[in-house]
Structure 1
Amino acid sequence: MTSHVGGARPEGAPSAAGKGGFSARNGWLYFAGFLMVFGGLMMVFSGISAIARDDVFIPTPNYAYEFDLTSWGWIHLVLGVVIFCAGLAVIRGALWARVVGLALAGLSMVASFMWLPYTPFWALVLLAIDGLIVWALCTAPGLTGD
């Protein structure tokens, strides 16, 4: 084993993670992407459940953001599919998907907050997942040229 002056790697030598491999640099992006895929799927299932069976959810009288449960179901279904697709793009390393992912996670947090009276525990779980997505996308290096 030879040492290199100043610890520099010779030109053309592969890095420890390789091109596109897992490293600390893109680990947060994988974390955010997998959370987006999981959260998107859970929103899709929640939306399908609201569309198919309106009697499963807790009726809330005099709720300020009251929609028909079928409307909430379609909102969750569409938002879940878009978040799922953006999560796959984050995993693949698309820069645009990070910005879109932040916006979608914010929208998902608002939708989950408004969904609280219908399914309190599930809405809190989705809020926590969306918060982790925002945190992971914001702390991952590389967006500003780090």
Structure 2
Amino acid sequence: MTSAAPGAALLDVKRIQAISLDLDDTLWPVWPTIERAERVLHGWLQSHAPRTADLVTDPKVLRELREATAKERSDLAHDLSALRRESIRGALRRAGDDEALADPAFEVFFAERQRVTLYDDALPALRWLSERYPLV
């Protein structure tokens, strides 16, 4: 007896040619990483753009600015980095700080965003998968 639903096709694993993974929340938890990167960004803003740091002390404000930017700039819908950079630029503008700081501020955020803590089973799972399939 099979556990598949009636009429459901079984997966033929021999037909798998490659596996693609969305890394966030697959290999590591995304929100602790984002929250830490936003804290580091806020610290940088305190040193380089204190009025903006005061404006975005509450992380909800930065989120609201990002949502407003997404509505204004639908062309950035699929580029979250550009969306975040432009929302930082908007925060700088709104606070009266130098908008040219948006790029270095984003780089500070992005560098910290790349520091992830893998789930305990992520590396063994990747090893197992990579021995069987190309990973992309």
- Range class of TM-score, shorter chain: 0.3 to 0.5
Q: 1 or 2, which has the higher helix percentage?
A: 1
Structure showing greater relative contact order (alpha-carbon pairs closer than 8 Å, 6 or more residues apart): 2
TM-score, reference length from structure 1: 0.31
TM-score, reference length from structure 2: 0.33
